[in-house]
Amino acid sequence: MEFSPTAAWCTCPGPLIIAGPCSAETEYQVLKTAEELSRSGKVGVFRAGLWKPRTHPGLFEGVGAAGLPWMKKVKESTGLLTTVEAGHPDHIRLALDQGIDMIWIGARTVVNPFMMNEIAGILENRDIPVLIKNPVYPDTELWTGALERIYHAGIRKIVAIHRGFYSYDKSRFRNDPLWELPIELRRRMPSLPMICDPSHIAGSRNYIREVAQAAFDLGMDGLMVEVHYDPDQALTDRQQQITPATLDEILSGLRYGEQSAAATPPDRLEDLRRQIDRIDASLLDLLAKRFGIAEEIAMIKQSQKLNILQLKRWEHVLESRLRQGKLLGLEESFLKKILEQIHKESIRRQSEYLND
């Protein structure tokens, strides 16, 4: 599948930067945030959630269609393009009637192929960019399927949004980046523009800069960031929203390529090398997480007065990983050396942790 690069339909300077509040709350809040964002000249698209899918009833579920005229005023007063999340075909009808420039489809909607079919039907052959977030759970096939449905509806201005994945594992992030999954999606669809939502990955404004830089280091084409003129008073996700001034500061300090891979496709050799770089970065991230978990295990072993080396557990790990590696076509002696080195480092870290 061939997609239109963002440079072909968005006149934003540099990478594609989409910013705005998690939720549209009042007309004043929307217009003030948009006005402050427009001053930097770095933001090309203003976002705001009008229909908010919430886990429990009774929570703030957005202002709905009442916020669409506010978005229209944003475009008229600032020149910024506008985008809203659509979780239902009715949302799309209303948004398009009010001149919304782009539609984004959220993580909870992407997991539902029936709803994606309905949305694809409403969008069929429309000349409008559609941005598709990854599903809540780490499933590349669901993400790919959602993209394919929109593509088969005749839409070519498609952007994938990496917003991280739900995980039962404890982490400093709200959602696990699992960088290897967007890397795999890019491998399957090399011409697909892809941006990152560092706000939903981080879950805290303290980590947005770090996640955004990691996204650019992996060759992503832009960011979607939650920004509020007064984040501490936001009705939803206040802890992960930042001010327009903070966004400007973050963007000024980030390193990114002069042109995205989607805008200027590299030759095949450079493309493959870039894929290797991204996979290596993901491997290093996973190793760091693994060793962090090993240190947590050391604490539990200490409280239960267990030896650091659990031989039966190690034998099980080695046997099961070698079996899995064989199915993946990995050479046994090579894989065994890697596993032994990882185990050796885990034991060293656990010993060091307990002796501190």
CATH classification of the domain holding 87: 3.20.20.70
- Among the three residues 208, 224, 253, which one is the final residue of a domain in this structure? 253
204 SS3 class: coil
Based on the domain organization, do 278 and 140 belong to the same domain?
A: no
Count CB-CB contacts under 10 A for residue 338.
12
Based on the domain organization, do 209 and 290 belong to the same domain?
A: no
Asked if residue 166 lies in contact with residue 136, where contact means CB atoms within 8 angstroms, the answer is yes
- Among the three residues 253, 284, 301, which one is the final residue of a domain in this structure? 253
Q: How far apart are alpha carbons 262 and 7 in whole angstroms? A: 9
Give which of 107, 114, 152, 111 is closest to 132, Cα–Cα. 107
- Establish if 263 belongs to a structural domain: no
Based on the domain organization, do 240 and 293 belong to the same domain?
A: no
Q: What is the domain-level CATH number for residue 299? A: 1.20.59.10
Cβ neighbors of 186 (< 8 A, separation 6 or more) are 192, 194, 219, 275, 278
Q: How far apart are alpha carbons 18 and 161 in whole angstroms? A: 11
Domain residues for the domain of 89 are: 6-253
Based on the domain organization, do 51 and 79 belong to the same domain?
A: yes
- Establish if 1 belongs to a structural domain: no
DSSP state letter for 242: B
Based on the domain organization, do 344 and 310 belong to the same domain?
A: yes
- Among the three residues 230, 253, 276, which one is the final residue of a domain in this structure? 253
Based on the domain organization, do 172 and 272 belong to the same domain?
A: no
In Å, how far are 16, 130, 185, 273 from 138, measured between CA atoms?
25, 21, 12, 25
Based on the domain organization, do 242 and 299 belong to the same domain?
A: no
Give which of 91, 102, 98, 88 is closest to 131, Cα–Cα. 102
Q: How many structural domains does the chain have?
A: 2
- Establish if 261 belongs to a structural domain: no
Residue type at 253?
G
Per-residue pLDDT of the chain (356 residues; tens, 9 = 90+): 888 888 777 766 689 999 999 999 999 999 999 999 999 999 999 999 999 877 778 778 789 999 999 999 999 999 999 999 999 999 999 999 999 999 999 999 999 999 999 999 999 989 999 999 999 999 999 999 999 999 999 999 999 999 999 987 777 899 999 988 998 898 899 999 999 999 999 999 999 999 999 999 888 999 999 999 999 999 999 999 999 999 999 999 998 865 444 444 456 777 778 778 878 888 888 898 899 898 889 889 888 888 888 899 999 999 999 999 999 899 999 999 999 999 999 999 888 877 76
Q: Following CA atoms 204, 209, 211, 216 in sequence, which dihedral angle do they give, to the nearest 10 degrees? A: 160
Based on the domain organization, do 226 and 274 belong to the same domain?
A: no
Q: How far apart are alpha carbons 243 and 229 in whole angstroms? A: 5
- Establish if 46 belongs to a structural domain: yes
Q: Following CA atoms 196, 139, 82, 123 in sequence, which dihedral angle do they give, to the nearest 10 degrees? A: 150
- Establish if 288 belongs to a structural domain: yes
- Establish if 343 belongs to a structural domain: yes
Based on the domain organization, do 127 and 164 belong to the same domain?
A: yes
- Establish if 165 belongs to a structural domain: yes
Based on the domain organization, do 158 and 300 belong to the same domain?
A: no
Based on the domain organization, do 75 and 206 belong to the same domain?
A: yes
Asked if residue 217 lies in contact with residue 6, where contact means CB atoms within 8 angstroms, the answer is no
